[in-house]
Amino acid sequence: MSASTPPTIDPGVNSGSIQAGTGATPPVATVASYPTTPGRFPREAMVCARRQIIKMFRLPELMAFNLLQPLLFILLFAYVFAGAIGGGAEGRDDYREFMMAGFFAQCILFATVSSSATNIAQDMHKGMMDRFRSLPMTRGAVLTGRTIADFVQNVMMLLMMIVMALIVGWRIHEGFLKALAGFGVILFLAYSFSWVGAAIGTMVRTPEAAAGVVVILFPLTMLSNALVPPSTLPRVLQHVVNWNPYSATVQSARELFGNEAPASDSWPMQNATLASLGWSVLIILVFRTIAVRRYRGVSR
């Protein structure tokens, strides 16, 4: 090449990049700019949700076990413990109606937190989250898609439990629309706790550790009005029960179903639906923030 010959420009790279060997700066890789549009986040979240839902249906045995467990609990309490807890054969039917709202919420919460935490921990452990982080997508879309998939699973589980509850004698007494609102309150609380599972899944090191997170739900569900009236507990525990977000949801569902709801002079129990919705929104705001920040920062 003579001194007057201009350096060759490679059309496949940036216009300011000169071919190697000419003494100029080598080409620099540039990252394309992806505009942020209002509809981008929902689309990405739904794509991630679709991935999880397809994965769920490709493992029918796992889904079957998740659906079978709450059905067994309903049968166990309806026919084995209902007479003893309800005060004899006369109180068995009354206790079935009393317990059912608590069982709906309890079984869904346990399945949601465990599933969300375990699946996210598996993706983190296998490097799937690192691949997602390398893609030009909204950071919260992956976790949001996971929680949407959990919501779909919760709806399926709740439908199965409703059928079983009707078989064992549970009934609604306030009409279809109010009952639908009661189920909505339960599902909204379950969705909020899917963010608790998401936050835990980004914190633990292994999927095995994530599988044990349901232990933290036992105090929440046992210190509540789900299985026994709060008036049977010590006075100090009654305050804990009344301000438990799980108790507010169960109380709201009972009122909307027309089932027996224990009387209480505390504000959350007198305004159970409002308290339940408020608790659910607060849980989503707190744990979604934690989960997304952990997702951004892990493995950097």
pLDDT tens for each residue of 211-232 = 777 788 888 888 899 888 888 8
By three-state DSSP, how is residue 228 classified?
coil
CA atoms of 229 and 243, how far apart (whole Å): 14
| 25 within 8 A of 18, measured Cβ to Cβ | yes
Beta-bridge partner residues of 67: none
Radius of gyration of the chain, Cα coordinates, nearest whole angstrom: 26
> pTM for the full model?
0.81
Beta-bridge partner residues of 18: 9
Over residues 199-211, the pLDDT tens digits come to 998 888 787 777 7
The terminus-to-terminus CA distance of the chain in angstroms comes to: 46
Q: What is the DSSP letter of 74?
A: H
Token pair of 2, please? 């003579």
CA atoms of 75 and 71, how far apart (whole Å): 6
Residues 6+ positions from 83 with CB-CB distance below 8 Å: 89, 91, 92
Over residues 65-114, the pLDDT tens digits come to 777 888 888 888 888 777 777 666 667 778 888 889 998 998 899 888 88
* Residue positions counted in the chain: 300
Provide the residue ranges of all domains of the chain, joining segments of one domain with +. 40-297
